[in-house]
Amino acid sequence: MVNLKIDGFDITVPKNTTILEAAKKLNIDIPTLCFMKGINEPGSCRVCVVEVEGWRGLHPACATKVFEGIVVKTASSAVREARKNILELIMANHNRECLSCPRNLKCELQTLCNDNGIDTIPYEGKVDKGCLDTSGPIVRDPNKCVLCGRCVSVCSKIQDVSAIDFAFRGANMTVTTAYEEGLASQECINCGQCIKICPVGALQERDDTEKVWKALENPDLHVVVQTAPAVRVALGEEFGFAPGTNVEGKMVAALRRLGFDKVFDTNFSADLTIIEEGNELINRIQNGGKLPLITSCSPGWIKYCEHNYHDFIENLSSCKSPQQMFGAIAKSYYPTKADVDPRKVFVVSVMPCTAKKYEADREEMSVDGLKDIDAVITTRELAKMIRQAGIKFEELEDSKQDSILGTYSGAGTIFGNTGGVMEAALRTVADKLTGKSLDCIEYTAVRGLDGIKEATVNVAGMEIKVAVANGTGNASKLLDKIRAGEANYHFIEVMGCEGGCINGGGQPIIKDKSTTDDVKAARIKGLYNIDVSCEKRKSHENPKIQKLYAEYLGEAGGHKAHKLLHTHYTA
Ligand code: HC1
Ligand code: SF4
């Protein structure tokens, strides 16, 4: 252990602790724009400089290790002056259209400038570093980039994609793509993890709210909305609720106020996915089909697989994702029940995921010329619409989803958590294979934030080997092991983002990035709490799903189900 003094207070910390970490233990928050533990290299922004007694100059707290007897000052006049100067330089090279920036009031740079008394920018900088990239769902503004490198690190080290990197030197340095092409033409998987980690507004999702407003104003359209499982435990953060708070009732009420003709739920079609995917798994196991079966509901993962693991394309489940299944049913079965023209049904999705915008626009995602999904907005965009409409979200009375696409089981709900799709599938597959209604339904081995989770489940005398890859970075590790013949499974769940959809690129921005893991854990708990409170916790027990098969689809995996609910991917 090492003893030191920070701002006059004694503290003892383990060897190799940085000054930044030691100060945190004393509740001293040294600001930094670049450093993210385990993700980004320390020391590029220099905002965290501190004074060390006896040393010349100032030193970055994120990159300087403590040693016995060190005396540190984190807010001396030399530090404050240097910090101010560094921020002025960053601001000089930053597009300062703060009022029209989507990150206004949630921008780390803006907060730091306020806190450090920046009122004028004394330097002439460079704010014409490139054009706005609007080629796809991820919008990049190089003129707002502060070169912190967090996006580059998350894209390469966590997501294993490397769609963006630093280019050029000196004043021309920028973060860009290969050949400076639009992100849409790159290997980018649209996961939006770079958006969430960006301290400023240099990365954003494409804003599709106007498209939704226009549809809502069009009297010829019948506009229905679905909300993904993970939205309900995060939307509240935009309105002051603690992470993980279930605001489903208020969310439904807000959607009604916005004018949607029907408010439905993606949890319903998550249940539907389980029926189809469970059936596919049993078929492949019993009839010698391609194994392992790998889930296909995360569009970021699908694109990653197409780019990097085409030898596993045939392993992907042919099931469309719940988002897409919902749209296909909303434009086929639902119109027969609601007596509306399917061509007039306009389907809006509220998703925690930026890649869902890309998925909805994929060529494969339509039936008989009708696109499954017409518009996708993120959790953040929904919050924006609620604010635009002047709705006092906090004070709304809870409301319930509409019939017939709004009823769901606990299994459909936990889809939003890493391991949730696997657990939901096992609940159904185990019942189907044993012919019983099993009581033991919590598959805790596949829960939690570990990168790769494995389990062997004993069902009806059969050992089913399963694995869960939490994020594409972990998927690559798992698939490499399978390629090398070092591992083998019957069924694998892959979600594109670490933690699953609860941590999707469209979820509310976590301003204090050091709390990210706590926020993820709270959202995960929120979904498991809903699961426990559900009357039905298995997808095949959802009465509205049973009715859908009885009245319309016929058999799971049958002709109609295939036409509407399945697809195929090509490398
Ligand atoms: Fe997801 Fe899914 S769980 S992919 O994370 O399979 O986005 O929440 O809607 O489609 O249901 C997202 C979440 C979501 C789909 C489901
Ligand atoms: Fe990388 Fe994901 Fe951002 Fe694309 S969206 S640049 S894959 S982090």
ipTM, 2 dp: 0.95
In the three-class reduction of DSSP (H, G, I as helix; E, B as strand; rest coil), residue 148 is classed as: coil
360 near 324, Cβ under 8 Å?
yes
- Burial zone of 317 (CB within 10 Å; 0-12 exposed, 13-18 middle, 19+ buried): buried
CA distance 81 to 15: 30
Report the sign of the C-alpha dihedral through residues 444, 449, 450, 453, in that order: positive
How many alpha carbons lie under 13 Å from residue 530 in its C-beta half-sphere? Answer: 28
Catalytic residue among 145, 148, 198, 297: 297
Paired residues of 73 in beta bridges: 51
Q: Which of 348, 405, 501, 520 most suits a substitution to test ligand 1, by most atoms within 8 Å of the C-beta?
A: 501
Q: How many helices (H) and strands (E) does the chain have?
A: 19, 19
pLDDT in tens, the chain (571 residues): 999 999 999 999 999 999 999 999 999 999 999 988 888 777 789 999 999 999 999 999 999 999 999 999 999 999 999 999 999 999 999 999 999 999 999 999 999 999 999 988 888 888 888 889 999 999 999 999 999 999 999 999 999 999 999 999 888 899 999 999 999 999 999 999 999 999 999 999 999 999 999 999 999 999 999 999 999 999 999 999 999 999 999 999 999 999 999 999 999 999 999 999 999 999 999 999 999 999 999 999 999 999 999 999 999 999 999 999 999 999 999 999 999 999 999 999 999 999 999 999 999 999 999 999 999 999 999 999 999 999 999 999 999 999 999 999 999 999 999 999 999 999 999 999 999 999 999 999 999 999 999 999 999 889 999 999 999 999 999 999 999 999 999 999 999 999 999 999 999 999 888 899 999 999 999 999 999 999 999 999 999 999 999 999 999 999 999 999 999 987 6
Residues 155, 454, 408: CA angle, nearest 5 degrees: 80
Atom nearest to 505 CA in ligand 2: 5
CA distance 327 to 544: 16
Where are the strands (E) in 390-504, listed by range? 452-459, 462-470, 491-495
pLDDT in the model for residue 40: 79
CA distance 565 to 6: 60
In whole angstroms, what separates CA 345 from the centre of its chain?
27
**What are phi and psi for residue 9, nearest 5 degrees?**
-110, 135
pLDDT in the model for residue 349: 98
Q: Which of 190, 321, 417 most suits a substitution to test ligand 1, by most atoms within 8 Å of the C-beta?
A: 321
pLDDT in the model for residue 36: 84
- Burial zone of 111 (CB within 10 Å; 0-12 exposed, 13-18 middle, 19+ buried): middle
In the three-class reduction of DSSP (H, G, I as helix; E, B as strand; rest coil), residue 564 is classed as: helix
Tell how far the Cα of 322 is from the centroid of ligand 1, in angstroms.
7
Cβ of residue 189 lying under 6 Å from some atom of ligand 2: yes
Residues 338, 343, 344: CA angle, nearest 5 degrees: 65
Catalytic residue among 51, 238, 276, 277: 277
In whole angstroms, what separates CA 534 from the centre of its chain?
24
Strand order in the sheet with 9-13: 9-13, 2-6, 71-73, 49-52, 58-60
Q: What is the pLDDT of residues 246-266, one digit of tens each?
A: 999 999 999 999 999 999 999
Atom nearest to 500 CA in ligand 1: 5
Report the sign of the C-alpha dihedral through residues 413, 418, 421, 427, in that order: negative
Cβ of residue 163 lying under 6 Å from some atom of ligand 2: yes
pLDDT in the model for residue 124: 85
Instruction: List residues near ligand 1 (CB under 6 A).
Output: 228-230, 266, 270, 297-298, 321-323, 351-353, 356, 415-416, 500-501, 504
Please, which residues have CB within 8 angstroms of residue 511's CB and are 6 or more apart in sequence? 106, 108, 111
Tell me the chain's radius of gyration from C-alpha atoms.
Answer: 25
Buried b (16+ CB within 10 A) or exposed e, 75-110: eeeebeebbebbbbebbebbbbebeebbbeebbbbb
pLDDT in the model for residue 571: 66
Cis check for the bond before 292: say yes or no (omega within 30 of 0).
yes
CA distance 422 to 313: 19
Catalytic residue among 280, 423, 498, 541: 280
Paired residues of 265 in beta bridges: 227
349 near 266, Cβ under 8 Å?
yes
Q: Report the C-alpha dihedral over residues 425, 430, 436, 441, rounded to 10 degrees.
A: -70
Q: Which of 189, 303, 472 most suits a substitution to test ligand 2, by most atoms within 8 Å of the C-beta?
A: 189
pLDDT in the model for residue 171: 83
